[in-house]
Structure 1
Amino acid sequence: MAGPLAGITVLDLSSVIAGPYATQILGDMGADVIKVEPPQGDIMRAAGPARNAGMGAAYLNCNRNKRSITLNLKSPEDRARLLEMVREADVFIHNMRAAACARLGLSHEELLAINPRLVYCAIVGYGQDGPYRDRPAYDDIIQAASGWAGLEQDSGAAPRYAPTIVADKTTSLYAVSAVNAALFHRERSGAGQYVEVPMFEVMASYLLVEQMGGMTFSPPLGPPGYSRLQSKHRRPYKTMDGYISVMPYNGEHWVRFFTEAGKLDMAGDPRLASSAQRAAIIDELYEKLGETLLERSTEAWMSILRSADIPCSEVNTVASLLNDRHLKAVNFFVSIEHPSEGKILATKPPIRFSKTPCTISRPSPSLRAAEASLDARVPADFGNVL
């Protein structure tokens, strides 16, 4: 069975992560994604370990379920070929700066004039109506600008970046949602439109859901922030022989935890019954939690906590995640035979559709295949794209 976006053609002029991860998800959902690369290829081809030049791990993990073609968009001939593809496409997506797009003659005004049904999605660093619109944007920069890196300061630590490209990948998810919403609108109206997905605004919006705190109200009811998340004692906790995550979330959880741990004085604390009072003493509770967990082994605590139905988990590393028994049971990791890279390990699409399942139908394309496709004429149905 075909995925829910079967029949939708996406022209993907994006590079690095924010755009390619979004278009990979659209491809997983069944869209026919055509990756349009410059002759030198997407810069992410060189990132991470690789068996062959231009086929790095990060590239392979963001570009499956795509066909590929190389075009030099500064060449009038190649630009004309791209515009022919635009006439037949449903979605056009890029993460170039607006000035670069304008120089190439690929603005949304120009492309929507060619194809009024086109959903034109621009992933940008900053909203184009604001004073930051021309600034370069990378994941670290957006983590800093959006307040993400500064959250650590509220816990008394130095600012730091998340050890994953959280801004790029979060923006990708917003882009997928936005493109699908625009396609739904087109289904009802027949009209395409321009969709702008700015990294800065996306991450600020994402962060402020809970961190707006008392500043939500006018006049403010208190400072910004969410006290539980900013407790200096909130962390994975050390046991006698490892680390675990434990999150007593309500009063019953806390009472059961302290009862099972033999801390009956804490279990009987009347403040545990009120969410407001628990919030006021959250540092004290988390500190006591950490001290108590040092008293037994990880295995012993996991047995106790799960029996008491208290939210908990082992602390996985990336390496141990590959052996997680739940992920194995749901066949999360799949082995793919790549035509140039041999066997590679991939994660299957995590979303399940009962009638239109996602599939992995194509491995990430090599640049060699893209160069070969450039030598052939590009017909309206893209049939010669490799």
Structure 2
Amino acid sequence: MTVGGSAQAGGPLRGVTVVDLTTMVMGPYCTQIMADMGAAVVKIEPPEGDATRYISAGPAPDMSGVFVNVNRGKRSVVLDLRTDAGREAIAALIARADVFIHSMRAKAIAKLGLGYDDVAALNPAIVYTNCYGYSRRGPDGDRPAYDDTIQAECGLPAVQQQLTGRADYVGTIMADKIAGLTALYATMMALFHRERTGQGQEVEVAMFETMASFMLVEHANGAMFDPPLGPAVYPRTVAPNRRPYATSDGQIAALIYNDKHWNAFIDAVGPPWASEQFATLAQRARQIDTVYGLLAQTIKGRSTQEWLTLFRELEIPAAPLNTPGALFDDPHLNAVGLFETVDTPNGPVRFPGVPTWLSQTPGRVAGPAPELGAHTAAVLAELGLGQEPA
């Protein structure tokens, strides 16, 4: 039995029920994607609601844009898990669910009697996903964490300092979102294992470990080897001249990188600084900041549109500089149907929708975000519980 309402038809996770005890962005972003892909997601909220309801602009005081986006298509059930009635209700939900996911620290979830052993005793086949700041298997396991602190600890501001001369956070909550995507794929792999074997299991996804792994994809570089062959940094990404190029009337992003693109550019433009010392990718990589500087000198001599036209003729990756707001009017994004408008009690909402495409089981925006506690009575009735827990 699927508890929490019928999921949107056709998605690959249709029939999967998720008990979602996450807040803020990491966990809710994971479960938002699951809802868009057909899962029935029951969002358990305390009486005051998820704090993300109140952190940004929205059509109602408890319906901020961030909350509305990452909690779309879910059902909100208000439970006080410190009460017997609240514990009874969540136990009944767990018994019928496929996935239980939370974002509480290990001590806090254990205090509620909802650690993995407790939940598996109710439903041995459940996939139980922990979303932590730090793995509980290490000495920092019970430390609190937010995106800013994880960005700092994984080295992201230090890399920005090498690039710009100032230690800055990246202007998006990168750690939260990447960890949310990691929680999604880890949960899906556990569900795939259960599909083959019938065996549930515990999954742990920590922001710090996730971002450390993410940063070291390229920045491990020479430090990976024994003995080390160089510092833990990928030189191209921290070259001081790596920035959008100024044109005669604006700015443009372009990467004239591999030998095919480089030779096409040199043949078409004929810059006076072109020489054999830049002939191969390996040569350019060793002096990448010099290369960026020389390109900057040349690109400032023509307009943005002139360069875009030329780069597209040469099939060199290039793009204008957009703002996030401009994405809503982007011709390509609208042509592929990224945005979906959904009617909600507070008016229509134009959601940035599902960025992936599946030919047989496509996802779509699962529906509006729930008002606080909007589905408490209905879900409890589905569980056979006659009254709303206090």
- For Structure 1 versus Structure 2, the TM-score category normalised by the shorter chain is over 0.9
Contact 2:133-2:143 within 8 A present in 1 as well:
yes
Contact 1:61-1:346 within 8 A present in 2 as well:
yes
Alignment match, 2:190: 182
Establish whether residue 333 from structure 1 lines up as the match of residue 344 from structure 2. no
Give the SS at the match of 1:110: helix
Alignment match, 2:353: 348
1:189-338 to 2 correspondence within 5 Å? 189-266=197-274, 269-338=275-344
Give the SS at the match of 1:223: coil
1:81-100 to 2 correspondence within 5 Å? 81-100=89-108
Establish whether residue 10 from structure 1 lines up as the match of residue 15 from structure 2. no
Identity of aligned residues (%): 43
Name the Cα RMSD after superposition: 1.8
Alignment match, 2:383: 379
Q: How far apart are the structure 2 equivalents of 1:248 and 1:223?
A: 25
1:95-114 to 2 correspondence within 5 Å? 95-114=103-122
Counterparts in 2 of 1:155 and 1:192: CA distance versus 1, 3 Å: same
Deviations 1:254-294 (A, max 9, x none): 2322333331541xx22333322111111111001111111
Alignment match, 1:132: 140
Alignment match, 2:364: 359
Q: How far apart are the structure 1 equivalents of 2:384 and 2:243?
A: 55
TM-score normalized by structure 1? Answer: 0.94
Establish whether residue 64 from structure 1 lines up as the match of residue 72 from structure 2. yes
TM-score normalized by structure 2? Answer: 0.93
Task: State the Cα distance separating 1:173 from its structure 2 match.
Answer: 0.4
- Letter matched to residue 3 of structure 1: G
Task: State the Cα distance separating 1:188 from its structure 2 match.
Answer: 1.4
Alignment match, 1:173: 181
Paired positions, count: 379
Contact 1:86-1:115 within 8 A present in 2 as well:
yes
Establish whether residue 35 from structure 1 lines up as the match of residue 39 from structure 2. no
Counterparts in 2 of 1:174 and 1:142: CA distance versus 1, 3 Å: same
Q: How far apart are the structure 2 equivalents of 1:115 and 1:327?
A: 42
Contact 2:255-2:316 within 8 A present in 1 as well:
yes
Q: How far apart are the structure 2 equivalents of 1:259 and 1:62?
A: 48
Q: How far apart are the structure 1 equivalents of 2:25 and 2:307?
A: 39
Alignment match, 1:79: 87
Task: Name stretches of at least 5 consecutive residues in structure 2 with no aligned partner.
Answer: 1-8
Contact 1:70-1:373 within 8 A present in 2 as well:
no
Counterparts in 2 of 1:265 and 1:288: CA distance versus 1, 3 Å: closer
Q: How far apart are the structure 2 equivalents of 1:373 and 1:47?
A: 28
Q: How far apart are the structure 2 equivalents of 1:259 and 1:380?
A: 74
Counterparts in 2 of 1:368 and 1:53: CA distance versus 1, 3 Å: farther
Give the SS at the match of 1:352: coil
